Structure 1
Amino acid sequence: MNLDRAVLRFAGFIVLVSVVLAWFVHPYWIALAAFAGLNLIQASFTGFCPAAMLFKRLGVRSGTVFR
């Protein structure tokens, strides 16, 4: 798995967890999904992604988008 796939997989996981928490715990958990979406949008413009930096430190090999 490369860094790009790891970031996308992590973002998808966060969105799904947010939806489940919003359904079963409290509707305000949907803000977590909004945060993940906004982070993906800003990363597409700037190339800066905190999750990509974390995964890179954990040893995930680079992809084509996040280096």
Structure 2
Amino acid sequence: MNINECLRLIAGVMILLSLYLAIIFSINWLWFTAFIGVNLLQSSLTKWCPMMAILKKLGVKN
């Protein structure tokens, strides 16, 4: 699995998890969903993503 696939997997899991938490516990978990969306938007504009830097440090291949 390359770094782009890992990034998409993590983003998808985090979005689904935050939606689940919003339904079960508190609607305030949707702020986490919004944070993920803003981070994805920011990374598309700046070509830099904090999670990709973390994955590179963990040794995930390009």
Q: What interval of TM-score do these two structures reach, taking the shorter chain for normalisation? A: over 0.9
Unpaired runs of at least 5, structure 1: 63-67
TM-score norm. by structure 1 comes to 0.88
In structure 1, what is the equivalent of residue 10 of structure 2?
Answer: 10
In structure 2, what is the equivalent of residue 40 of structure 1?
Answer: 40
Paired with 1:5 and 1:44, the residues of 2 have a C-alpha distance of 16
What is the letter of the counterpart of residue 12 of structure 1?
A: G
Instruction: Give the alignment's Cα RMSD to 1 decimal.
Output: 0.6
Name the structure where helix makes up a greater proportion of residues.
2
- What are the equivalent positions in structure 2 for 1:48-67 lying under 5 Å apart? 48-62=48-62
Alignment length (residue pairs): 62
Query: What is the deviation of 1:48?
Result: 1.1
Q: Percent identity?
A: 37
Query: What is the deviation of 1:47?
Result: 1.1
Paired with 2:5 and 2:44, the residues of 1 have a C-alpha distance of 14
TM-score norm. by structure 2 comes to 0.95
